[in-house]
Structure 1
Amino acid sequence: MSNRIIETQQLRFTYAEAGEVAPLVLDGVDLSIEEGSFVAVLGHNGSGKSTLAKHMNAILLPTGGKVYVDGIDTSDEARLLDIRRTVGMVFQNPDNQIVANVVEEDVAFAPENLGVPPEEIRRRVDDALKAVGMYEYREHAPHLLSGGQKQRVAIAGVIAMAPRCIVLDEPTAMLDPIGRAEVMKTIKQLNRTSGVTVVLITHHMDEAAQADRLVVMAKGKVIADGAPREVFQRVEELKAVGLTVPETTELLWQLRQAGVDVPLDALSDEACAQVLYDLLNREGA
Structure 2
Amino acid sequence: MSDAIIKTEDLRFSYSGEETPKVVLDGVSLEIEAGSFVAVLGHNGSGKSTLAKHLNAILLPSGGKVYVSGMDTADEALLLDIRRTVGMVFQNPDNQIVANVVEEDAAFGPENLGIPPDEIRRRVDEALKAVGMYEYREHAPHLLSGGQKQRVAIAGILAMKPRCVVLDEPTAMLDPIGRKEVLETIRKLNETQGVTVVLITHHMDEAAQAGRLVVMAKGRVIADGPPKEVFQKVEELRAVGLTVPETVSLLWELKQEGLDVPLDALSDEACAQVLNTLLSQ
TM tier, shorter chain?
over 0.9
**SS of residue in 2 equivalent to 1:242:** coil
Counterpart of 1:88 in structure 2 is 87
Counterpart of 1:6 in structure 2 is 6
Give 1:1-285 correspondences, 5 Å limit.
2-17=2-17, 20-282=19-281
**SS of residue in 1 equivalent to 2:79:** helix
| CA shift for structure 1 position 258 | 1.3
How many residues are matched? 281
**SS of residue in 2 equivalent to 1:25:** strand
**SS of residue in 2 equivalent to 1:14:** strand
Counterpart-to-counterpart distance in 1, 2:143 and 2:61: 39
| CA shift for structure 1 position 73 | 0.3
What letter is aligned with 2:272?
A
CA offsets per residue over residues 223-251 of structure 1, 9 Å max, x none? 00000000000000000000000000000
Query: Mind listing any 5+ residue stretches in structure 1 that lack a counterpart?
Result: none
| CA shift for structure 1 position 262 | 0.4
| CA shift for structure 1 position 179 | 0.1
CA offsets per residue over residues 127-178 of structure 1, 9 Å max, x none? 0000000000000000000000000000000000000000000000000000
**SS of residue in 2 equivalent to 1:260:** coil
**SS of residue in 2 equivalent to 1:10:** strand
Counterpart-to-counterpart distance in 2, 1:194 and 1:2: 21
Query: Mind listing any 5+ residue stretches in structure 2 that lack a counterpart?
Result: none
Counterpart-to-counterpart distance in 1, 2:19 and 2:40: 29
CA offsets per residue over residues 243-269 of structure 1, 9 Å max, x none? 000000000001111111100000011
| CA shift for structure 1 position 214 | 0.1
**SS of residue in 2 equivalent to 1:166:** strand
Counterpart-to-counterpart distance in 1, 2:46 and 2:212: 18
Counterpart-to-counterpart distance in 2, 1:245 and 1:144: 36
What is the RMSD of the two structures over their aligned residues, measured on CA atoms? 0.8
CA offsets per residue over residues 161-200 of structure 1, 9 Å max, x none? 0000000000000000000000000000000000000000
Counterpart-to-counterpart distance in 2, 1:69 and 1:253: 39
Counterpart-to-counterpart distance in 2, 1:20 and 1:78: 32
Identity %, equivalent residues: 81
| CA shift for structure 1 position 26 | 0.1
| CA shift for structure 1 position 21 | 1.9
Counterpart-to-counterpart distance in 2, 1:3 and 1:64: 24
**SS of residue in 2 equivalent to 1:253:** helix
Normalised by the length of structure 2, the TM-score is 0.99
Normalised by the length of structure 1, the TM-score is 0.98
**SS of residue in 2 equivalent to 1:115:** coil
